[in-house]
Structure 1
Amino acid sequence: MSRPPAASPVRHENPLGGPPPERFRLRWPRPLAVLALAPLLRYAVARHAVPPGTARRSGCDACGTPIGLARPWPALGPRARCGGCAARVGAPPGTAELTVAAVALVLLLARPPAGELIATAWWLAFAVPLVFVDVAVHRLPDRLTLPAAAGTWLLLGLTALAGAGAAPWLRAIAAALGLALFFATTTLLLGARGFGIGDAKLALGAGALLGWYGWTVPVLGLLLALTLSGLVALGLLVTRRAAWSSHLPFGPYLVLGTLAALLLAW
């Protein structure tokens, strides 16, 4: 007597033709886990968003309540409010979290090679708080720009040793130094009308990431940054929110131009 065939397992297919919903439930926790970095970035912004020549911030400006990783809430949370007096601390509420989520999503969708991904993520971990600091107080502190550059150079060097070869790493270093020299030269020649030394230090990491992919990519990143900053400056002039003598921070545009050029290279 023959036995009836065993019932095949039920598969939950996506009605739109894609993978089953279970796969999405397994994938998304990993990118969302990156949001755990947001308090660290908020801490960096709160510590370094002070005028030049001022010591790093260690507490609320209004009431002096300490701000630190030992007691991150609520000052380093999405509300960005002091636990003592409810004054705003650091980056505006929700902005750091949204920025981290957007950057993580871009890297997830772009899917660059592992070595380049790690180097880019390292640089962005410093570049994101630098954007908030530069917008707030027009400065790019060495405590963030120099580790960003050093780690990027090191991680790209390890990628070269892992099989990419020395040529792209040497080109990356040369491009980083060339881009930094460009910014430093404008500062020496034009003074306050040129770019700042902080921009030159930020370019040490940005130029390395871009130079890894060829000599034209750093030029593209610089052109994108200059174009974007020019359009924003023109809009501010037209709306009379800035004058010809106004000094606009260039760090945010350098970060955006670098990321845009990397996306085109990937």
Structure 2
Amino acid sequence: MALTGPPLVAEPPVPPVASPGARLLAVLALAPVLRLAVVRHAVPPGRATRTGCGACGAPIGLARPWPALGPAARCGRCRARVGPPPGAVEFAVAAALGTLLLVGPPVVVLAATAWWLGWAIPLVFVDAAVHRLPDRLTWPAAAGTWLLLGTAGLAGAGPGPWLRATVAGVVLALLFATSTLLLGRRGFGLGDAKLALGVGVLLGWYGWTVPVAGLVLALLLSGLVGVALLATRRVGWRSHLPFGPFLVLGTLATLLTTPLP
């Protein structure tokens, strides 16, 4: 008698897992989109967004000329410098990816953090270049972060962290806006207040003291840089440093140094 065993069942194929290098390349592929946002919005207040090379007028977009949005930051027609320094946006994207990997929050909170970083990176370069934080970048950063964290609350975190994040964002934004009303040009700008709204929402998710820590770190960073620039006589006492980059850096430092649940 022939011996028979249970029928063999073919195991489903295991989907290939992308290597860390492939994931890094996929994230860095977003750099041209962020560089385009910087090029478009890094214009003085009151002017239309930039659509072409400042030297030859060649149109700048994701299709052509591609080199203008690559790491070399050169116009595809005249090879003039366009936008932030070569490799700067790519380095910022890699640093943001490293922050996400080190912080490692739950998936939906990770998505909210990635969303905020995606808008914060071009805001840093725009503010550093022309001292402005455009509404087209600050509002989506805050609104998307708030909505994604609300989804995280519905997914199991509960309403508590989301309500705390909402209050923290509003309070931080009002603090910045009040300084603008009371101090005028010597205070923070309204763009800083709108950026602070998203910062407060993101950090407020983790606790009441976390946004305070982020603000303190941002103030310390701006103070240290200001003192260094004064000591080297690169700026005068009446110079005004853009605060947006320091607020973003303070937020990242807080995410990396604060024990998060």
Normalising by structure 1, we get a TM-score of: 0.89
**Aligned counterpart for 1:102 among listed residues 86, 95, 107:** 95
**Aligned counterpart for 2:240 among listed residues 236, 247, 260:** 247
Q: String of CA shifts for 1:119-165, please: whole Å, max 9, x gaps.
A: 01000000000000000000000000000011000000000000000
**Aligned counterpart for 2:146 among listed residues 131, 153, 158:** 153
Separation (CA, whole Å) in 1 of partners of 2:19 and 2:83: 34
Which residue is 1:181 aligned to? 174
Separation (CA, whole Å) in 2 of partners of 1:111 and 1:207: 19
Separation (CA, whole Å) in 2 of partners of 1:106 and 1:130: 17
Aligned pairs (5 A) from 1:16-27: 26-27=19-20
Relative distance call for 1:231 and 1:50 in structure 2 (3 A) is: same
Q: List structure 1 segments (4+ residues) > 4 angstroms apart after TM superposition.
A: none
Deviates more, 1:199-208 or 1:26-35: 26-35
Which residue is 1:15 aligned to? none
Aligned pairs (5 A) from 1:95-174: 95-174=88-167
Across the aligned residues of Structure 1 and Structure 2, the Cα RMSD in angstroms comes to 1.5
Which residue is 2:12 aligned to? none
Separation (CA, whole Å) in 2 of partners of 1:72 and 1:169: 43
Deviates more, 1:234-243 or 1:28-37: 28-37
1:220 counterpart = 2:201: no
Separation (CA, whole Å) in 2 of partners of 1:65 and 1:206: 36
Structure 2: any 5+ residue segments left out of the alignment? 1-16
| SS across alignment from 1:28 | helix
Q: String of CA shifts for 1:41-79, please: whole Å, max 9, x gaps.
A: 000000000000000000011111000112251100011
Contact 1:160 1:169 in 2 (8 A): yes
Contact 2:71 2:90 in 1 (8 A): yes
Which residue is 1:34 aligned to? 27
Contact 1:60 1:89 in 2 (8 A): yes
Which residue is 2:48 aligned to? 55
Deviates more, 1:66-75 or 1:118-127: 66-75
Contact 2:145 2:201 in 1 (8 A): yes
Which amino acid is 2:96 matched to? V
Separation (CA, whole Å) in 2 of partners of 1:65 and 1:52: 23
Structure 1: any 5+ residue segments left out of the alignment? 1-23
Separation (CA, whole Å) in 2 of partners of 1:25 and 1:171: 36
Deviation, 1:106, is 2.2
Deviation, 1:113, is 1.6
1:207 counterpart = 2:200: yes
Aligned residue pairs total 244
Which amino acid is 2:249 matched to? L
Relative distance call for 1:25 and 1:118 in structure 2 (3 A) is: closer
| SS across alignment from 2:230 | helix
Relative distance call for 1:204 and 1:72 in structure 2 (3 A) is: farther
| SS across alignment from 1:78 | coil
Separation (CA, whole Å) in 1 of partners of 2:107 and 2:173: 26
Contact 2:65 2:76 in 1 (8 A): no
Separation (CA, whole Å) in 2 of partners of 1:124 and 1:205: 10
Which amino acid is 1:248 matched to? L
Deviation, 1:27, is 2.9
1:89 counterpart = 2:50: no
Normalising by structure 2, we get a TM-score of: 0.91
